[in-house]
Chain A
Amino acid sequence: MTPLITSSRVVQIAVLLLIATVVAGCWDREEIDNRDFVLSTGIDLAGPEDVGTDLGTSTSPDGEPISSSDRKLRYTIEFPIWRALAQQQSGGDGSSGQRFTKPAQVISSTATTVFEAGRLMSLRVHRRIFFGHMDLLAISEEVAREEGIAQVVDVFERDPELTRRFVVAITDGEARELLLLAPKEESFVGTYVKGIIERREKSSRMVNGDFNRLLISLHGNKSAVLPMVRVAEDEVVMGGAAVIKDYKMVGKLAELETRGLLFIQNRVRGGSVVLSDPEKPWGDLVFQIGSSQTRVSPELRDGEIVFRIDISVEGILNEQRTLNILWDEPLIEQVEQAVSGRIDHEVRRALEVLQNVLQADVMGFGESLHRNLPDVWNHVSQDWEETYLPGVKAEITVKSNVRRIGLIR
């Protein structure tokens, strides 16, 4: 019997250990403190104030512009400065009146393409910029209207470092302005905006802007909806939606129009419907949407495409300001009808804007037609949005149910 530890075995183990040090993938090893974790990225068109920054870096040695378009993009990133964050958290030595400073750095660089601008960032940042934990991509309305969304996000889709789970939002003004903001409740704009989006079902007045959904939608029929963000003094305010058609932003939906769209897409999970009519027995009343189900089914009637949109909503009555007694079944039925009327109105408004004004099929009517009536779709798929979509009739039926009325009669 051989002993368990022999000299040849020692050699074998030594060789194995040596191999392990060589093949463990050390080329890509990176210390975590050598990374800057980008939390949000903003893309603007470069303005006159950017002229001169990075001058020469995106031109060839002869001074000729490299890209055919001389339009430059300004690319801004926000990343935390852990040192500042740690100092802030260890109690600002009793000086509570001190001005609130943001424990993050926001820097910009300009170039003709997004990737180039990102690389030029390395002229200003001494660590590796890591995008794997990015929460927000803010694109300014200008860029969305003039450059196009798919063109700008291509680099984010192609890069394996990024997830497909961050939020894409359109900013009313400049994206850089949004990133510079220092919200008090949360230090970083990216995290802040993502938090608002995650709680969108409280109002159902905005769309979710998930990067994955955006890509699916863009590659489906070149259109999409994205949430709108604006800066109001030192606050972030969200609401409404930007409508993208042929990869470019063509218009906006107001908050209640956005909810109309969400009803069609079966994405409403909450929110409130306000009835305000002092003449009626219910007076001023708030219906809180608890759940909602929508079925959209296309039909062909006498050569016309009709979309049946059946919405069924249920919820509770939460507030009533005219102090009437609600403990009354016929009254509740009337309330239900009034709520249905409101929702019907919201949906019609959304359809009016999307079908006739913007002619953008973000509702997915074309795809629904394709799936349910493929023969009809083959006839109309050419020029669907411009020629056929405005003529599509919608037959909306809303059924509302009031389940409870709160704690008092």
Chain B
Amino acid sequence: MIRDNDRVSSWQMTVIVISAINAVGILVLPRKLADGAGPDGWLALIMSHAVAAVAIVMIVKLGSRFVDQTFIEYAQVIVGRPLGLLIGGSIALAWLFLTARTTRQFGDVIKMFLLDRTPIEVILLSFLLLAAVLLRHGVEPMARLVEILFPLFPAALVIYAVFGIIEADFSNLRPVLENGITPVIKAAGEDLLSFQGIGPFLMLLPFMVRPERAKKAGLIALSFNLLMRIGFFVITVAILGVQETAHEIWPGLAIAKIIQVGEFFERVDAVFMAIWITVSFTTLVVYYYLSSLAISQLVRFRTPFPVVLPLLPVIYVVSLIPTNIIEASNYSDILDMAWAVSVLIVPSGLLLIATIRGLGRTKQQAEG
């Protein structure tokens, strides 16, 4: 069922994970952290990434018992077909919602900052159509596109840091732990986006050239992501201060409006918008692919190809369900929370059952 060229390298897996985590959400993240934990937001990031790392290790352990199967397939093996379909179905649904969420957040930012008079339908459909064209060709073009576009994301953050440092005042990050650790733990709950990095491991392990490197790829992705996010949070708070960061809806874009490249280039925010569009697009293709692959396997198609286009109108309609940006943000929080909780509970449960029932390959068998 896997075509010859449908292969994902470890590095591609790493960038897919990072892309799955980061979309327009990163522009919002400093606000949530500053609001919840004040200057200690970076500690919250460390906490959430640590928990996400545990979840990834667990998923990879589970996945490596069934090297040539995806989560949708082996869930049915472990708990039987009806329950497996239910679990797989809800995961597929979650990805569908996540695709819609990415689309919606992208649309909101574009509508706000760039294309004021362009109908939202045109913005979203052109975004989705482009992704659909790409995904009809399978996992490898997706992985390659994400790999090619990936450097834009760290590049944008580096530009922020380099040109923002003139305005930065790092004493904005004090005092440390003023109200104790409780608000930090609560704020860690706001950074559930890092759990989105688990998605690719559920579905893409069998596509990896060397699946034994999956754990390493995941941990590299998370550490890299953690570094980027801490850097982004620190520079945002250093430039804007805690209160102003919490005041802005997209603190990341406020910074783009502040920084000047030299004395000559002002208004670089348009350039950053272009970069964030690209970053959102990589996120979209990852989720779009995951949901079409999951659904195609649920209904036992041989490839996701026939599912891609029919999904497009569904994603489009779901993305327009929230009536305003506040509702969209609330739904998105609920989605993140549900995802994080289930991704911690379900795979550990499955791993336990698989171990007890002795299903799949154990480590010794895999090595032998």
Q: Report the minimal beta-carbon distance from A194 to chain B, rounded to whole angstroms.
A: 12
Collect the chain A residues with CB atoms within 8 Å of residue B327's CB. none
Q: Does B257 contact A (CB under 8 A)?
A: yes
Interface residues of A in 319-374 (CB under 8 A from B): 370-372, 374
- Stretch of B59-67, B116-124, B185-193 with 4 or more beta carbons under 8 angstroms from chain A: B116-124
Residue from the list A164, A212, A215, A371 in contact with B175, Cβ < 8 A: A371
Q: Given A163-B266, A165-B260, A374-B178, is A28 in contact with B244 using a C-beta cutoff of 8 Å?
A: no
- Tell me the smallest distance from the CB of B166 to a CB of chain A, in Å: 12
Enumerate B195-245 residues with CB–CB distance to A below 8 Å.
Answer: 240-241, 243-244
- A25, B125: Cα distance in complex, Å: 12
A220-261: CB near B (< 8 Å → 1, else 0) gives 100000000000000000000000000000000000000000
Question: Which of B114, B175, B247 is in CB contact (< 8 Å) with A28?
Answer: B114
Write out the residue numbers on chain A whose beta carbons fall within 8 Å of the beta carbon of B171. 371
User: Known: A28-B115, A28-B117. Contact between A165 and B241, CB under 8 A?
Assistant: no
| Contacting pair B267 A27 (CB below 8 A) | no
Count of residues in B whose CB is under 8 Å from the partner chain: 28
Chain A residues, Cβ within 8 Å of B257: 163-165, 212
What is the CA–CA distance of A216 and B246 in the complex, to the nearest angstrom? 11
The answer to whether B117 and A27 touch across the interface, beta carbons within 8 angstroms, is yes
Report if A160 contacts B (CB, 8 A): yes
Q: Are B244 and A216 in contact (CB under 8 A)?
A: yes
Q: Which residue of B lies closest to A220 (CB)?
A: B243
B174 close to A (CB within 8 Å): yes
The contact of B241 among A25, A216, A374, by CB within 8 Å, is A216
In the complex, are the beta carbons of A164 and B254 less than 8 A apart? yes
**Nearest chain B CB to A313 CB, angstrom units:** 21
Q: How far is the CA of A132 from the CA of B267 in the complex (A)?
A: 9
Residues of B within 8 A of A23 (CB): 122, 126, 129
A374 to B179, CA, bound (A): 10
Q: B113 interface residue, CB < 8 Å from A?
A: yes
Write the nearest CB–CB distance from B180 to chain A, whole angstroms. Answer: 11
- Asked whether any CB of chain B lies closer than 8 Å to the CB of A403, the reply is no
**B118 pairs with A25, CB closer than 8 A:** yes
B258 within 8 A of A: yes
Compute how far the CA of A394 lies from the CA of B17 in the bound complex, rounded to whole angstroms.
54
Say yes or no for A404: interface residue by CB 8 A criterion: no
CB distance from A257 to the nearest CB of B (A): 24
Docked complex Cα distance between A370 and B247 (Å): 19
CA distance A374 to B178 in the complex (A): 7
Report the minimum CB–CB distance from A204 to chain B (whole Å): 19
Q: Which residues of chain A from 8 to 45 have any CB-CB distance to chain B below 8 Å in the complex? A: 22-23, 25-28
Inter-chain contact B175/A219, CB cutoff 8 Å? no
* Cα distance A220–B112 in the bound complex, in angstroms: 26
Pairwise interchain contact B258-A212, C-beta atoms closer than 8 A: yes
A288 to B162, CA, bound (A): 32
- Kindly identify, within residues 124 to 139 of chain B, every residue whose CB is under 8 Å from any CB belonging to chain A: 126, 129
User: Which of A26, A164, A216 has the most chain B CB atoms inside 10 A of its CB?
Assistant: A216
Chain A 55-70 interface residues, beta-carbon cutoff 8 Å to B:
none
In the complex formed, the residue of A with least CB distance to B130 is A23
Q: In the complex, which residues 266-318 of chain B have their Cβ closer than 8 Å to any Cβ of chain A?
A: 266-267, 269
Q: Which residues of A (131-189) have their CB < 8 Å from a CB of B? A: 132, 160, 163-165
Q: Of residues 84 to 143 in A, which have CB atoms within 8 Å of B's CB atoms?
A: 132
What is the minimal beta-carbon distance from A129 to any residue of chain B, in angstroms? 14
Contact indicator B118/A374 (Cβ below 8 Å): no
Alpha-carbon distance between A132 and B114 when the two chains are bound, in angstroms: 13
Q: Whose C-beta in chain A lies nearest to the C-beta of B242?
A: A220
Q: Is the CB of B178 within 8 A of A28?
A: no
Contact at B241–A163, with CB atoms within 8 Å? no
Which of A23, A160, A370: most chain B CB closer than 10 A?
A160
Determine the chain A residues whose CB is within 8 A of the CB of B113 once the complex forms: 160
Kindly state the separation between the CA atoms of A257 and B35 in the bound complex, as whole angstroms: 36
| CB-contacts of A358-401 with B (<8 A) | 370-372, 374
For residue A25, which residues in chain B have a CB less than 8 angstroms away from its CB? 114-115, 118
* Contact with A27, one of B118, B129, B175 (Cβ below 8 angstroms): B118
Contacts A160-B112, A212-B258 hold; do A370 and B175 have CB atoms under 8 A apart? yes
B115/A219 in contact, CB under 8 A = no
Contacting pair B244 A220 (CB below 8 A):
yes
| Min C-beta distance of A21 to chain B, whole Å | 12
Chain B stretch 79-126: residues in CB contact (< 8 A) with chain A: 112-119, 122, 126
Pair B267/A163 contact, Cβ less than 8 Å: yes
Q: B189 → chain A, closest Cβ, in Å?
A: 24
Chain B residues lying within 8 Å of A27, measured Cβ to Cβ, are 115, 117-119, 122
- Known interface pairs A165-B257, A165-B266; A219-B244 also in contact (CB < 8 Å): yes
Interface members, chain B 247-270 (any A CB < 8 Å)? 247, 254, 257-258, 260, 266-267, 269
Chain B residues, CB < 8 A from A212: 167, 257-258
CB-CB under 8 A from B240, the residues of chain A are: 216
Closest CB in chain B relative to A221 CB, distance in Å: 9
Those of B337-356 within 8 Å (CB) of chain A: none
Residues of B within 8 A of A374 (CB): 175, 178
Please, which residues of chain A bring their CB within 8 A of the CB of B116? 28
Q: How far is the CA of A28 from the CA of B123 in the complex (A)?
A: 12
With CB as the reference atom, state the residue of chain A lying closest to B254: A164
Complex contact B122–A219 (CB within 8 A): no
What are 19 A-B pairs with beta-carbon distances under 8 A? Answer: A25-B115, A25-B118, A26-B118, A27-B115, A27-B119, A28-B118, A132-B267, A160-B113, A164-B257, A165-B258, A212-B257, A212-B258, A215-B244, A216-B243, A216-B244, A219-B244, A220-B241, A371-B174, A371-B175
Which residues of B are interface residues toward A (Cβ below 8 A)?
112-119, 122, 126, 129, 167, 171, 174-175, 178, 240-241, 243-244, 247, 254, 257-258, 260, 266-267, 269
In addition to A163-B257, A216-B241, A374-B175, 19 A-B residue pairs with Cβ atoms within 8 Å of each other are A25-B114, A25-B115, A25-B118, A26-B118, A27-B118, A28-B114, A28-B115, A28-B116, A163-B267, A163-B269, A164-B254, A212-B167, A212-B257, A212-B258, A216-B243, A216-B244, A219-B244, A371-B174, A371-B175
A interface residue numbers (CB < 8 A to B): 22-23, 25-28, 132, 160, 163-165, 212, 215-216, 219-220, 370-372, 374
Closest 9 A/B residue pairs (Cβ): A27-B118, A23-B126, A371-B174, A374-B175, A219-B243, A216-B244, A164-B257, A27-B117, A28-B115
